[in-house]
Chains A and B, each alone.
Chain A
Amino acid sequence: MNLSRPHLILAVILTFLLTTIPYDTFAQTEISGTVTQKNGTPIEGANVYLDGTYDGGSTNAQGQFSFSTGEEGVQTLIVSYVTYEEFMMAADVTQLNGLTVTLREDVNSLDAVVLSAGTFEAGDNSKVSVLKPLDVVTTASALGDFVGALQTLPGTTTVAEDGRLFVRGGDAGETQIFIDGIRVFTPYTPSTNNIPTRGRYSPFLFDGITFSTGGYSAEYGQALSSVLLLNTIDEPTQEKTDIAIMSVGGSIGNTQKWEKSSLSFNTSYINLAPYIAAFPDRNDWEKPFQAFAGETVFRRKFDKGLFKMYAAFDATNFELTQEDINIPEGVNFKLNNKNLYTNTSYSGTLGDSWKIQAGGSFTHSNNKVGFLDNEIDNIENSAHFKLKFRKRFSNRVKLNFGAEQFLTDFNESFDNPFIDTSIDSYGFNNNITAVFSEADLIFSRKFAMKVGLRAEHSQLFDKFTISPRASVAYKTGKGSQVSLAYGDFYQQPLNDILKFQQDLDPQKTQHYILNYQYSKNNRIFRAEAYRKEYKSLVMFDTQDPFFDSNFTNDGDGYAQGLDFFFRDNESIKNVDYWISYSYLDSERKYRNYPISTTPSFANSHNLSVVGKWFITDWKSQVGVSYQYGSGRAFTNPNDQGFLQDKTKGFNSVSFNWAYLISQQKILYFSVNNAFGFNNINGYQYANTPNTMGNFNRRALRPAADQFFFVGFFWTISEDGTDNQLDTL
């Protein structure tokens, strides 16, 4: 061999390479062991490896793994498998053999227990979701009102002439509504006697709805019975224009998207004049209902958070004359309402384990009401500020805490040319400060607990209250669980009382809830038993609250009952249905009640059956819903007693039909109370007896027995796939 120098070097390098490569494979260390669950069952398919290297393997059916590594010294061994927490262990590679690794279950996985007592959620990935986002708009009786859809859930009472939520023996004022965690002070469009109101905000802005019928989190206060939490959409999917032409009006909306932000607006105009001309109702409309509404949402994403601003303005007016047994010419009522609501929120992360949520809302509401010769004009300015932090100590321990401030300034003036009142304007300032703290403790996939405390100070009453809240949940089997909840809840009397009397105490309820839930294969069954105690309810000694009423906090009461819910999306192809039944037993002494009795807004039995059928060949979805509410109490002055008689039960069957003309054009029909049941909401009695000594009466019937709706919805978007199914 006669190698030149460069060749020699090359040969040396080669020799080195050729010897080091095999050397690498010879100096291997064996890593081995077994991966099991806590109870010893082996886990197959777990990924076992040394962090930052290529060395690793998967476990076999016996949970065993073994692989070799060229790494030396201390290395980190990682074992991971879905639905289990990742296992990590640092040791010298020579120690990593014959290991036994026990993986801890990931308590956040889908089959983990959830605190479900009292709570219904509508959302995409919610574990306790009983309603789907689309249900709000495809439930036949709901007419696109989210409140209407919630009235098909158990725990609610059918009070057809009102339209608001009445939960478990509570009146409508006992439910509070929050948008992105911030209070809505005036959630309903104002209305008058016997004309049901609607939720003010259009359902298409929200993608998550949580409805709690009791036992809710310490984060929420000033609600005796229930909270409804609405979350606005974080990010719209695309730029589009929506046009709706309806038998009652029209609307137009547009969404624009940029890289980090988006802006949506929607305006609508509703006028019932043509409808009332075609289908006259029992009222004599001087000026049929008309409403103009505009809403806008601006969203901007930051590196670590999301900012949202929501603003809504609406103006409503109508004038009508309603029949009255004591006033032969009828009662003239006119209303003019202007409402502005803005809500600004920021949610984001602060470092690894902290989250922050901050927000505020401002409401300006002006009502001008005229009835008979009375002119009432009120202005409410309210604000809510909230700051909340969430600290995650581990997957198993989380802490929420925060503070909030409510401010209300309410002023009203009263004028009647025939009455000389010494006071013609009155009002109040109501400031409430609250702090809350709540811990989530997840002991295992089977057992979880939430404990919280809320403290509130009312400046108006100079009263301090403390409300403990707690719930526990235990998984009893695959798909089934039991949960328990307890809580104290305080709420101030509403504006109709506070405007005349501010020297009062907060009203109080205590909730005890036992819940059982079973879900399997797109079927869910829930049963809930509860007991609710009312204390310190406001009472007064006149027909209605007024200047010269004497107010006390001497009222009390209770509500107890059973709620059942069953939903099945599986048994019949293309058919989805649910059944809700509620039994309620409630008595209370409050307002001007001489005795403790069942109030007129509470009844014993409520049943809802809702079904939806998608018919592919017809390109249609057909929906039907049936609602039954047993009779409600009224006072019959011809007999001894108070609220001693009951109306007959309420029945209504509603149908809807959505027909997809094309992907972006939808035709929609609906009819409420299709069979025209004669429903009676109550009776009005004459103030004075007739010649026979009897008090005459008049049945309070809905303004119209039936309601028809036709709409055409058209979406224009770049890729032509979006439609307005979700706005119906």
Chain B
Amino acid sequence: MKQLFIIAITLISFTGFSQSKFEKGMTKGFELWQEGKQWEAANLFERISQAEPDNWLPPFYVAQINVLYSFNEKDETKLTAQLKKAQDFINDAKAISKDNAEILVIQAQLYTAWIVFDGAKYGMTYSQKVAQLYSEAHKLDPSNPRVAFGKVEWDMGTARFFGQDTSSFCEDLKKAAALYETYEPKGPFHPKGGGDYAKQALAENCGE
């Protein structure tokens, strides 16, 4: 009985202990983000990325927060600063993890943020790059829902811009959205979000 007790304690304390600084930090980061303190979360991820120079996830999330919160930014100075910061961290993440579809998707989203801000100025050069990045990411990881959904959504947006019929994209969009249900993240803290947005986008674009 005593032995069992000790073993139980050992297990508990080992699980407690095995939650490393990294895991605690990352968990705290996501908590902050969920509480709406995204900039504090970004700061924390930035600190983790300094302490863990061989892990691509912390710089990836710094970039992701800076990109995501640029989409509604109207102040050019602020937007430029955020996207420049995001680009620096994408570069860091890319240097750590080569041929990573998730990083290519963030890069594509960064260019998209510029295009959304000023299409006349950035559309011509960046739209080609975005398309190129999605097709590269697709080659690397075709079952990744963020890759598949991002690609179809981009192609659909382009077709709409050129006044083409977009209903043919709905089937692909639905398929891509379904990948969110089946795709297994490659490890703890690996990107897994986007499913809710996909449902919403599917409803808006295809009425499903």
Contacts and interface: CB of A to CB of B under 8 A. Distances in A.
Interface of A: 1, 3, 7, 10-11, 14, 17-18, 21, 45, 47, 49, 51-58, 78, 80, 82-83, 109-111, 124-125, 132-134, 207, 237-238, 522, 569, 576, 614, 616-617, 619, 660, 662-663, 718-719, 721-722, 725-726
A47 B37 CA distance: 13
B6 A10 contact: yes
Contacts of A522: 118
A237 B6 contact: no
Nearest to B164: A662
A125 B121 CA distance: 9
Contacts of B131: 238, 719, 721-722
A110 B76 contact: yes
B9 to A, nearest CB: 7
B124 A725 contact: yes
A719 B125 CA distance: 15
A57 B163 CA distance: 49
A662 B162 contact: yes
Contacts of A83: 77, 81
Q: Which 6 A-B pairs have the closest CB atoms?
A: A47-B43, A237-B128, A721-B131, A82-B81, A619-B163, A49-B47
A237 B129 contact: yes
Contact of A109 (B50, B81, B121): B81
B85 interface: yes
Contact of B132 (A78, A132, A237): A237
B100 interface: no
A707 to B, nearest CB: 26
B195 interface: no
Contacts of A11: 6
A56 B58 CA distance: 15
Interface string B34-51: 000001100110111011
Contacts of B21: 54
Instruction: Identify which of B24, B43, B125 gathers the most chain A CB atoms within 10 Å of its CB.
Output: B43
B122 interface: yes
A299 to B, nearest CB: 16
Q: How big is chain B's contact interface, by range?
A: 35 or more
Contact of B163 (A1, A56, A616): A616
A457 B13 CA distance: 80
Nearest to B131: A721
A58 B37 CA distance: 11
Given A58-B43, A237-B128, A237-B132, 5 more contacts: A17-B13, A54-B22, A109-B80, A110-B76, A726-B124
Given A56-B47, A133-B124, A238-B132, A82 B85 contact: yes
B110 to A, nearest CB: 13
A505 to B, nearest CB: 45
B40 A58 contact: yes
Contacts of B118: 522, 569
B6 A619 contact: no
Contacts of B127: 721
A633 B169 CA distance: 63
Contacts of B98: none
B133 to A, nearest CB: 10
Contact of A52 (B51, B80, B122, B129): B51
A132 B124 CA distance: 10
B159 interface: yes
B39 to A, nearest CB: 5
Nearest to B24: A54
B132 A719 contact: yes
Contacts of A57: 43
B17 A21 contact: yes
B2 interface: yes
A663 B17 contact: no
Nearest to B161: A616
A113 to B, nearest CB: 13
Interface string B107-121: 000000000001011
Contact of A54 (B13, B48, B121, B155): B48
B69 to A, nearest CB: 12
B3 interface: yes
A45 B43 contact: yes
B166 interface: no
Contact of A110 (B2, B46, B77, B125): B77
Nearest to A3: B2
A535 B43 CA distance: 60
B142 interface: no
27 contacts: A7-B3, A10-B6, A14-B6, A14-B10, A17-B13, A18-B13, A54-B21, A56-B43, A82-B82, A82-B85, A109-B80, A110-B81, A207-B125, A238-B128, A238-B132, A522-B118, A569-B120, A576-B120, A617-B163, A662-B162, A663-B159, A718-B135, A719-B135, A721-B127, A721-B158, A722-B128, A722-B131
A55 B155 CA distance: 43
